[in-house]
Structure 1
Amino acid sequence: MKKIHGLLGLISKVHLSESVLLRNLLLQSLVFITIFLCISAFKSYDMLGNATALDKLSTPLTTLDGEDIDLNGAKLHSTHINNASTVYYFFAPWCQVCHASIGNLQTLYQNNNQINIVVVALDFVDKQQVQDFAKEHQLTMPIALGNEQVKQSFRIKGYPSYYVVSEDNTIKYSSIGYSSELGLYFRTL
């Protein structure tokens, strides 16, 4: 009988330590998520704010395909879908985080025909460097060749940077850094 009471006591201690571990894990997760969100907010602090209209940002560019577009929404790529959200993704070909995240954007482009995606290369040496980047990642979405004016107009301070723009051509989300396909998709809703 004493052995049974001893065993029950041990089981209750193990159960108690499991609940303490679970509580600690939950607390640590909350701290991590809070720190992550604060850092993300700090990094995107200088970017264009939500509800900023892009109508006044006339930024005509040429894509790798030779098509003329304007990032103010007036004339996007020929595959432009009316009344749809648009993701503007700014990258540099030398950026390692861009190399890691561009595949997520390509998958979003291929799997969601209700979202416009415009990729803008900045801080590149020459057009060939951008073409090599596109070839390495097998990109099929439109890639515009940006310039210093675009970088300043969109307040790009780091890579990758992206804006999600609503159907009425106003910014509804902005961020810097890696984003998953699912994260990008949910931000366009």
Structure 2
Amino acid sequence: MLDTQQNLSALNFNVPTVTGEVVSLTANEKTVIYFFAPWCSICHASIENLQALYEKNETINVIAVALDFVDVEEIEAFVAQHQLTFPVAIGNENVKQAYKVPGYPSYYVIDEDNTVISKSIGYSTEIGLYLRSF
């Protein structure tokens, strides 16, 4: 697993989103990267807390990255079910390995210098996410 305070500058990934855009996983502002799998029940339970954090805090950038999925339709159904409004990227094994994602959901808070300042795995409340982000 990535150590907190590890700089991710070398990890310059540009990944497609479910809307057809491309998003960078390189942070130039405080960013929460949420790694999830569409089949993960804990991801279903916690994603709405991340959506609430995103809606209430303009200073935090949020990117969700889907991993270990069968097809893009599975990701699209997850996004539609939870009415997500932040970018949802279509990840791959290279992203999973580079970030050393140990399970789902995994949260990485990255600062404007592209350094991991916090990380966690499992269910998190909205306030828990907020506290890790500041």
Q: What TM-score do you get using the length of structure 1 for normalisation?
A: 0.69
Q: Which of these residues, 57, 82, 88, is aligned with residue 11 of structure 2? A: 57
**Inter-partner Cα distance in structure 2 for 1:60 and 1:134:** 20
Q: Which amino acid aligns with 1:155?
A: K
Match of 2:58 in 1: 113
Match of 1:134 in 2: 79
Q: What displacement does 1:52 show? A: 1.0
Q: What displacement does 1:168 show? A: 1.5
Match of 1:176 in 2: 121
**Inter-partner Cα distance in structure 2 for 1:178 and 1:51:** 22
Q: What TM-score do you get using the length of structure 2 for normalisation?
A: 0.96
Q: What displacement does 1:51 show? A: 1.2
Q: How does 1:26-45 map to 2 (within 5 A)?
A: none
Q: What displacement does 1:72 show? A: 2.3
SS in 2 for 1:141: coil
Query: Is the contact made by 2:23 and 2:87 (CA closer than 8 Å) also made in structure 1?
Result: no
Larger Cα Rg: Structure 1 or Structure 2? 1
Q: Which of these residues, 69, 73, 77, is aligned with residue 124 of structure 1? A: 69
Give the superposed CA RMSD.
1.0
Query: Is the contact made by 1:56 and 1:72 (CA closer than 8 Å) also made in structure 2?
Result: no
SS in 1 for 2:26: coil
Q: Deviations over 1:38-67 (max 9, x none)?
A: xxxxxxxxx211111111012220011111
Which structure shows the bigger proportion of residues in strand conformation? Answer: 2
Structure 2: segments with no counterpart, 5+ residues: none
Query: Is the contact made by 1:60 and 1:69 (CA closer than 8 Å) also made in structure 2?
Result: yes
Q: Which of these residues, 83, 86, 91, is aligned with residue 36 of structure 2? A: 91
**Inter-partner Cα distance in structure 2 for 1:124 and 1:187:** 27
SS in 2 for 1:114: coil
Match of 2:96 in 1: 151
Query: Is the contact made by 2:4 and 2:119 (CA closer than 8 Å) also made in structure 1?
Result: yes
Which structure shows the bigger proportion of residues in helix conformation? Answer: 1
Divergent runs of 4+, >6 A: none
SS in 2 for 1:140: coil
SS in 2 for 1:163: strand
**Inter-partner Cα distance in structure 2 for 1:157 and 1:115:** 24
